[in-house]
Structure 1
């Protein structure tokens, strides 16, 4: 069969840009890798930040270790000083003998000892020769005496020594002789700590600093002679006052951008390690550079693989193009093996397309015939439905006018609409009785149903939906549901008769059996069962309930086909309405 296409549709405009498949695949690969590139950049930045955080954490750890070692050095001097403060010669008031002991202890040490009283100044000073004139009183702060009175050993800040004329630091411990308080001090030049911190920080460009309680420099590994006794940079001084440990980005006294980590020791001194900013940048970007190189290698590999596979795809597509041209000419497409599963499926489809095109005309003719039959059937069913609506409207007009009559008419129309929805879902062939009961009874609380699956004809479905609607409405207004009772709907197939037997049972009624003529709803139920479905209806009143029994013969009008239908033996679906209402 030849496909006749209009020439204007068959000719493709050549004015738009056309690219070969290989280039499109390369562009597609680039577009697919673009989000990966963006994510990689984000990950590289995150890796940089992680490296910076790790660098800062290592620097803080290094500073904390320096503080511990410095505090240990001060603790050794404090322990020796405290041991001297309880010597027997001092406690007995033998200052001459105690001075001799202090001079022996100071021999070979970098500092000297001083014993002073608050009311008379220095009593002993081992820096001066024995018997020499002692400096006048003063220079020992009152806050220091308060700490000594509390029994605590203190570490002073850096000050300018009167005798040595250079920055000094002191360790002071209390010594009580009788009831009088003395201060025993070990004084040493601040430069004594310079070799200590230089030995702990050997990396090029790094600087170690010790600050006293006021932020003055006690020792510094670089330019110690010019900086000891001076103040630290303002931002470092502010940071040390606020926190006992941390990291800041600042500049050194020489003006170099640096990362400064600091840690305060129990003595009140703060130990600082400054690393050049370039050291952090170099360490962080080295990891980023390695990751970027790996990314570029992966990108090049991906593009190379794309170029390789695009050649194979292009070859398979050319074969598909030839097969499509043969199909357009009405020729049989020859079978061919391709390298891709997708193109193989397309080629197999083109191979069998010729046979399908021949069957197309016959199938189209059959479809038109089915459509005509469906239209006639729909016309017949619409007429039946309109007749039912006309009867409902006529009865609504006969009843008393008002909102109640209008509501009843609308509710019956809504019940018909639900039946039509179920039938439409099954192409108006049939609907299951369980689905019908579930749809109609769902708005009412307190109704449960059980029974086997049973296929109803479209004619029977419309009739039964009105019956169930009227029964549920009556139960809600006047029956068991209005009295707080329960309603149970059960059905089964009696193959001996054969018939479909159903029972509607209302229990818990508080109202007596009604008297007088039947209303429209009761007449509608009876007419639908007896006239429309050729069945029988029996209503029985009990002490606190009412029961309706239906018997519907298994005719073609009920089932839609002749003979007794097969009933499903699966679970009946017993229980309350699924939505619980």
Structure 2
């Protein structure tokens, strides 16, 4: 019952737990989509910021190129003009002008005139481009710092390049500027050139700037369109990252922005933890209540009823539960049990009184029947005495005595039954002088009154025949009587005569033979086999008793 209460409590909790699980899955899926949108938006914002910076650098180069000193390529005047511009722009450290042959004409630092820059890719691209070009990660030869070069060609009236004006955005300044634009502490931002070399990185810029994006993510740098994905960043943090490939929207620049899953899902994780704690506490309280209710209001009343029933089986007929119907359903059952036990007690008392009266009547009937048999025996002796053979008269008297003895056996027990040993011993009582040659053995088996009477008549006929013709005729023969009872309630009885005079099979069957084969009632399914062996008569008798033998208690004896 307690287990069923626990199952009922589990069934009651299941909808709440299921609803919590559904909400958890729904909220997480929705948050997943939202975080992907936020990561994409963050990458677009960072790319837009870099695009504005590059546009600003492009405007700066256009304005500087329009300066007369720069346009005239006068080294001294050009250097002073460029120094004035560089001092007012914190994102750069140097601006320099290169000739069409790739040599430095002047610079804002005033120290690099004549230096060859023709190996720089941005110089080559700027000569052929009609706009500003963005270079690659570069270690500046002038300032010896890492920069992102931006260059623009200066052309004459016919459009031929007269030189290239270049500058470089400081990468330390670029990283700081991007972080100031809203990168979360656990978020990530990566800016790389067209070759995948990192220009700015948060977090740990000192570790990653100047290194190449791992090959497993290089395909994102040259992807056909922006997108998002889940990944574990190089710093070991699981993030949802939005990325903008090179040229979309900034030429030559790759941008990615990531949001840490731990931070993005912190609110949902807290809510899930609180929900789980609440459900857990609810489950504990529910199961505790089920245990208490099951123990106090179910188990105890049931055990109380069981104890009373067990005591009643042990014979403690006065035990009662004492329950009342007003206290609950199980108490109503206990009250009904009490009423049933009261009714059974009354019936047992009435049955006992009826049994006493029946026993009194039975004993009186037995007494009168025995008196009747005695009168019958006397009448027969007086009526047939002078005219009937004395031997036949004696046999008739012994049969009446056997019938009276069997009646004694039946009436000696309260249940009007007789044990096989008692029936055999009582029936053979007239042969007391020969009892030393009669051996009996078998378990204690009780027979109903009708069956005991029939067996008594059969044993009497067998003993009479043994006395007249068989083993008991002289002083050497022995009679062995054995019986058994199998597990199916089939009783087997064996009468065997030994060491007597030779047996001659009868040429006809008289009353005794018919009595032996027909004495038992048909409902017992009797089977009788008689063998007239030269060494002695053997009778095998079996019939259904319907009950087992009593505990192993041998009734065997060599009477005498």
When the two structures are superposed, what TM-score results if normalisation uses the length of structure 2?
0.45
When the two structures are superposed, what TM-score results if normalisation uses the length of structure 1?
0.44
Larger Rg: 2
